């Protein structure tokens, strides 16, 4: 089986700036707090009114922070590569088997973009994602890689099961996006992928707070996963179920 390889590189400065700006000013879930916890010296940007001034502040901060942390960033990159490459083929083969679909032949690589942003967005069109450079436990990098790689293969399978699916529904705030974010850690915590992780994959706090029939959404959908007949049947059942409770995911 041909599998893609993960290539590690730095986030382009403009993309780094745009994503930090988006989480600080355009995120309804308040995830900017995670950035400010790691980068408290960014807090003055919240007092600026004009976008141009905010972007100038963020740019200056990003460039200076990267300059100061350059050696640390390079060491972490080398460490992530070392840890991941030992698991890559076996982990990706298991993802393919679990989801019942091959990795696309045209996708020879997945790009892991080393970032100072602790939030890790993924980009389906380019098969790339952010990975935080400064995890306290480097093994968390493996979870990030597997979580984001899972999304890429997951949506390939989704289109096979639901060929009429609209591309825009794969992004927030659509219920299809919510389901994908619930199912990625469920898949990683299954017996096939769990051995590659040091600890269980985490769910969004927001999803943990959603209750369905007396249990959290992660628990509810995990139970569906554990009794699945096939991955395709699981997707169909979980999609039917989450649509019943769509209003509970309107954060």
In a domain, 193, yes or no: yes
Contact at 8 Å (CB) between 138 and 76? yes
Residue 216: give the domain boundaries: 153-249
Kindly state whether residues 121 and 207 are assigned to the same domain. Answer: no
Q: Which residues contact 131 (CB under 8 A, 6 or more apart)?
A: 8, 80, 112, 113, 114, 115, 120, 141, 144, 145, 148
Kindly state whether residues 44 and 109 are assigned to the same domain. Answer: yes
Q: What average pLDDT score do residues 208-235 get? A: 98
Question: CB burial class (10 A; 0-12, 13-18, 19+) of residue 96?
Answer: middle
Q: Which residues contact 146 (CB under 8 A, 6 or more apart)?
A: 91, 95, 188, 193, 196, 197, 201
| Rounded Cα distance, 53 and 122, in Å | 27
Kindly state whether residues 15 and 123 are assigned to the same domain. Answer: yes
Kindly state whether residues 128 and 10 are assigned to the same domain. Answer: yes
pLDDT of residue 143: 97
Kindly state whether residues 14 and 86 are assigned to the same domain. Answer: yes
Contact at 8 Å (CB) between 62 and 16? yes
Contact at 8 Å (CB) between 40 and 146? no
Band (pLDDT 50/70/90 cuts) for residue 251 is confident
In a domain, 144, yes or no: no
Domain count, the chain: 2
β-strand partners of 128: 111, 123
Which of 138, 173, 206 is the last residue in one of the domains?
Answer: 138
Kindly state whether residues 180 and 239 are assigned to the same domain. Answer: yes
Q: What average pLDDT score do residues 157-171 get? A: 98
Q: What average pLDDT score do residues 37-50 get? A: 98
Helix (H) or strand (E) holding 132: strand 128-132
Q: Does residue 1 surpass a pLDDT of 90?
A: no
pLDDT of residue 121: 97
In a domain, 54, yes or no: yes
Q: What average pLDDT score do residues 79-101 get? A: 98
In the numeric block, which tokens belong to residue 205?
Answer: 């706090």
Kindly state whether residues 13 and 119 are assigned to the same domain. Answer: yes
Band (pLDDT 50/70/90 cuts) for residue 200 is very high
In a domain, 47, yes or no: yes
Band (pLDDT 50/70/90 cuts) for residue 238 is very high
Q: What average pLDDT score do residues 28-51 get? A: 97
Q: Are strands 122-123 and 215-216 parallel, antiparallel or unpaired?
A: unpaired
In the numeric block, which tokens belong to residue 238?
Answer: 């979980």
Counting Cα atoms < 13 Å in the Cβ hemisphere of 132 gives 19
What is this structure's pTM?
0.96
Closest of 152, 147, 143 to residue 123, by C-alpha: 152
pLDDT of residue 177: 98
Helix (H) or strand (E) holding 215: strand 215-216
Kindly state whether residues 11 and 128 are assigned to the same domain. Answer: yes
Dmax over CA atoms of the chain, in Å, equals 54
Kindly state whether residues 128 and 195 are assigned to the same domain. Answer: no
| Mean pLDDT for all residues in the chain | 97
Helix (H) or strand (E) holding 240: helix 231-244
pLDDT of residue 225: 98
Chain segment 144-159, per-residue pLDDT in tens? 999 999 999 999 999 9
CB atoms within 10 A of CB 93: 14
């Amino acid at each position: 089986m041909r599998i893609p390889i993960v290539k590690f590189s730095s986030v382009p400065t403009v993309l780094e700036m745009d994503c930090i700006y988006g989480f600080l000013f355009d995120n309804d879930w308040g995830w900017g707090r995670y950035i400010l916890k790691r980068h408290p010296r960014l807090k003055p940007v919240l007092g600026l009114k004009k976008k141009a001034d905010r972007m100038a502040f963020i740019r200056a901060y990003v460039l200076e922070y990267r300059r100061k942390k350059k050696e640390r960033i390079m060491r972490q990159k080398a460490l992530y590569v070392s840890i991941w490459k030992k698991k890559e083929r076996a982990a990706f083969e298991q993802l393919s088997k679990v989801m019942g679909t091959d990795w696309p032949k045209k996708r020879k690589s997945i790009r892991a973009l080393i970032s100072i942003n602790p939030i890790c967005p993924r980009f389906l069109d380019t098969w790339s994602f952010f990975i935080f450079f400064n995890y306290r436990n480097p093994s968390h990098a493996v979870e990030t890689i597997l979580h984001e790689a899972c999304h890429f293969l997951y949506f390939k399978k989704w289109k096979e099961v639901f060929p009429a699916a609209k591309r825009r529904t794969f992004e927030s705030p659509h219920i299809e996006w919510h389901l994908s974010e619930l199912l990625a850690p469920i898949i990683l915590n299954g017996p096939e992928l769990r051995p590659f992780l040091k600890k269980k994959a985490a769910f969004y706090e927001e999803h943990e707070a959603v209750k369905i029939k007396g249990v959290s959404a992660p628990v509810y959908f995990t139970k569906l996963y554990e009794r699945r007949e096939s991955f395709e049947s699981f997707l169909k059942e979980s999609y039917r179920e989450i649509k019943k409770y769509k209003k509970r995911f309107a954060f």
